Amino acid sequence: MKGVVFYASKYGSTAQCTKWIAETTGLPVFDIKGYISDLSNFDFFVLDNPIIYYKLLNRKWLRKHWSILENKPIILFTVSGAPAGEKLNDWIANSDLPNELISKMKHFALRGRQIPKELTLYDRIMLKIGGLKNPDPIARKEELYGFDYMDNLVLHLFCAL
Q: Are 130 and 99 in contact (CB under 8 A)?
A: no
Rounded CA separation 43/117 (Å): 40
Rounded CA separation 148/146 (Å): 7
Rounded CA separation 93/105 (Å): 12
Report which secondary-structure segment, H or E, holds 108. strand 105-111
Residue 37's pLDDT band (cuts 50, 70, 90) = confident
Rounded CA separation 96/94 (Å): 5
Rounded CA separation 129/126 (Å): 5
Q: What is the pLDDT of residues 70-115, one digit of tens each?
A: 889 999 999 998 889 999 999 999 898 888 888 889 999 998 899 9
Helix (H, G, I), strand (E, B) or coil at 157: helix
Cβ-based burial of 99 (10 A; exposed 0-12, middle 13-18, buried ≥19): exposed
Residue 155 has pLDDT above 90, yes or no: no
Single pTM value for the model: 0.86
Q: What is the pLDDT of residues 21-36, one digit of tens each?
A: 998 899 999 999 887 7
Residue 124 has pLDDT above 80, yes or no: yes
Q: Tell me how far apart the terminal alpha carbons of the chain are, to the nearest angstrom.
A: 16
pLDDT at 59: 92
DSSP class per residue in 40-91: GG-SEEEEEEEEETTEETTHHHHHHTHHHHTTS-EEEEEEESSPSSHHHHHH
Residue 157 has pLDDT above 60, yes or no: no
| CATH topology for the 3-113+148-160 domain | Rossmann fold (3.40.50)
Percent of the chain with pLDDT over 90: 58
Alpha-carbon dihedral 57, 54, 5, 23, rounded to 10 degrees? 120
